[in-house]
Amino acid sequence: MPEPYFVTEVERQLAGRRKKWQPLRILLLVIAVVIAYLALTGLVMLTRHGTPRYESIVQHFKYGSIGSEPESGIPYRVWMALPKLFPENFENRNDYTAFGFLYEKDARGRQRDLPIGVSRRTVNGVDLVWLNCAICHTGTYRQKAGDPPTIVPGMPSNNLHFESFVRFILAAATDEKLAPETMMPAVEAVGPRFGTMELLAWKSVVLPRLREGLLLRFNQVSPLLKRQPDWGPGRVDTFNPYKVGPFKIPAASLTDAEVIGASDFPSIFEQGPREGMHLHWDGNNTSLAERNLSAALGAGVTPQTVDHGAIDRVADWLLNLKPPPSPFSPDPSAVERGRAVYMTACSGCHGYKDASGYVFKGNALGQVDPIDKIGTDRARLDSYTEEFRQRQLNELFADTPYAFKNFKKTDGYANMPLDGLWLRGPYLHNGSVPTLRDLLNPPDQRPVAFLRDSDVVDGANGGFVSPPCDPSQTQLTGFCYDTSQTGNHNSGHLYGTDLPAAQKGDLLAYLLTF
């Protein structure tokens, strides 16, 4: 029996409507799939985390992340783009050697993209870079000016102009070149083109957040730097930046006594025998683990981002890391006579060296000499205050197994072992005496101003080649270190200064073998 007319007519009309709306349904489906794909891509991108692992402990020390990137780092693409955006600050170089950063070559003989002491970590889909332990504790030496530099992990970073680098990074935040519309073409030129979601994330989140963070640090740290003399190469203020940064103490409220604290980067050879000694220049801690964690905070780690495993791996390696042997060959008879002088006058505070290596023994080794006795510049000592100590104990890693317990306020400077002494010039905690020979002279006979920045060792005097300079003149090369400035005084440590000239010469010969 045939269907009634009205039924077939309704079906024809419905079929027509379905045919009419079919393209729209397909379009909506396509849009839904695209949105789902973009959302999934964005989710994968924003949840991507990780950091390269280096099987070699030396490579891990040089390039491995310790957790500084999430809070303190800048995007890898921005890092690579900055030399092109600010050529005048980089001396028209395409890398960071203008600030004393050290680069190695890869297996193909090409310069690595990141310098020693700069690590990489992916956080929320963005590759970030920042600092690790090697930035402060890797340096170079040359035996003569024409030699290629030898890189030595564990020695002080004698090349690094850290303050100049910090000043540049902070000032860049105020420059319109860091605005997203200027930065985007520069960062896209660094690597593969961004996908749609990456482009959106960088324009709306990554670059604005970077600039906002840098401006915050600029407002915190710049007033501090204005109150301080230039640090110069191979030096850093350890604690004052932490006061004005994470602890948010206004720089204007710091007292004149505490506001200047720049001192030389220390070496970190043979850490094992140092456990229990007074560490840091002022001896304010006796725990290697706490000292290491405190140093990591200085590199940009926070209690929330710290990678304890990565730091512990470096710390274990440093327990037995020996310095390279001295390349100097003084007269053996002078060395033997100098050893006798040293054992009587110096070994009790500093240990000594024999044929087996460095001997970490001495009744005052690793102990603190009161400032009234040692007589050296007290600015670094005074920069570490009791108030700052209390905040360290109460706020950093509180209620965790890593809470600080061993920091103390001292009244002087610690007697340091002298292993690797030939790589540790200039001397005293603030690097105010260029050579060992100068250190054996009374303060009024020590150089008033000298050039820092050379890595050519001085085989006759100990330390590095450090010619005199005039602080009132612009230097074509090097940094003119002015000992008349607050924090730079070359006073104190009078031990050996009253010896006869012949005995000073013998003592110097022995010290050159360290």
Q: Would you list the DSSP string of 206-237? A: IHHHHHHHHHHHHHHHHHHHHTS----TTEEE
**Span 423-433, mean pLDDT?**
98
Which pLDDT score, from 0 to 100, does residue 191 have? Answer: 85
Which pLDDT score, from 0 to 100, does residue 40 have? Answer: 47
pLDDT beyond 80 at 24: no
pLDDT beyond 70 at 4: no
pLDDT beyond 90 at 505: yes
111 sits in which H/E element: none
- Reference 411, options 443, 365, 366, 380; nearest CA is 380
Please write the tens of the pLDDT for every residue from 33-71: 445 444 444 544 556 779 999 999 999 999 999 999 999
**Span 396-411, mean pLDDT?**
96
pLDDT beyond 70 at 17: no
**Span 278-283, mean pLDDT?**
98
pLDDT band (50, 70, 90) for residue 492? very high
Q: Identify which has the larger pLDDT, 42 or 462.
A: 462
Q: Identify which has the larger pLDDT, 67 or 180.
A: 67
Which pLDDT score, from 0 to 100, does residue 477 have? Answer: 87
pLDDT beyond 60 at 154: yes
* Three-state secondary structure of 403-448: CCCCCCCCCEEECCCCCCHHHCCCECCCCCECCHHHHCCCHHHCCC
pLDDT band (50, 70, 90) for residue 26? low
Which pLDDT score, from 0 to 100, does residue 36 have? Answer: 47
pLDDT beyond 80 at 113: yes
Which pLDDT score, from 0 to 100, does residue 280 have? Answer: 97
The whole-chain average pLDDT of the chain stands at 93
Please write the tens of the pLDDT for every residue from 324-371: 999 999 999 999 999 999 999 999 999 999 999 999 999 999 999 999
- Residues 481 and 430: beta-carbon distance below 8 Å: no
Residues 39-54 as b or e (16 or more Cβ within 10 Å = b): eeebeeebeeeebeeb
**Span 237-261, mean pLDDT?**
97
pLDDT beyond 60 at 404: yes
pLDDT band (50, 70, 90) for residue 16? low
Q: Which residues, other chains included, contact 287 with Cβ-Cβ below 8 Å and sequence gap of 6+?
A: 275, 279, 405, 406
> 149: how many CB neighbours lie within 10 A of its CB?
13
pLDDT beyond 80 at 12: no
Which pLDDT score, from 0 to 100, does residue 55 have? Answer: 96
pLDDT band (50, 70, 90) for residue 272? very high
Question: pTM of the full predicted structure?
Answer: 0.90
**Span 100-117, mean pLDDT?**
96
pLDDT beyond 50 at 486: yes
- Residues 160 and 68: beta-carbon distance below 8 Å: no
